[in-house]
Amino acid sequence: MALPRNIKHYLSHSNVSYLHKKHSVAYTSQEIAQVGRVSGEEFAKTVILKADEKLLMAVLPADHVIIMDKLKRHVGCETLALATEQEFIEKFPGCQPGAMPPFGKLFGLPLYCDSALSKELEIEFNAGTHVDTIRMNFDGFNKLENPVLVSFSEKRTGQQVPRSA
- Interval 93-118 mean pLDDT: 95
- Is 22 inside any structural domain? yes
* Structural domains counted in the chain: 1
- Is 93 inside any structural domain? yes
- Is 129 inside any structural domain? yes
Band of residue 162 on the pLDDT scale cut at 50, 70, 90? very low
- Is 149 inside any structural domain? yes
Main-chain phi, psi angles of 20, to 5 degrees = -90, 125
- Is 161 inside any structural domain? no
pLDDT in tens, 5-64: 999 999 989 889 999 988 777 677 776 766 677 777 899 999 999 999 999 999 999 999
User: Is the overall model pTM greater than 0.75, yes or no?
Assistant: yes
- Is 162 inside any structural domain? no
- H/E segment holding residue 27: none
Residues 6+ apart with CB under 8 A from 30: 40, 62, 63
- Is 144 inside any structural domain? yes
pLDDT in tens, 49-104: 999 999 999 999 999 999 999 999 999 999 999 999 999 999 999 899 889 999 99
Residues 49, 153: Cα–Cα separation, whole Å: 14
pLDDT score, position 106: 96
Q: Which range of residues forms the domain containing residue 60?
A: 5-155
| CB-count burial class (<10 Å; 0-12, 13-18, 19+) for 34 | middle
Instruction: Give how far Cα 123 sits from Cα of 19, 37, 54, 87, 159, Å.
Output: 11, 12, 27, 27, 25
pLDDT score, position 118: 95
- Is 104 inside any structural domain? yes
CATH of the domain at 58: 3.90.960.10
Instruction: Kindly report the length of the chain.
Output: 165
pLDDT in tens, 63-74: 999 999 999 999
pLDDT score, position 161: 45
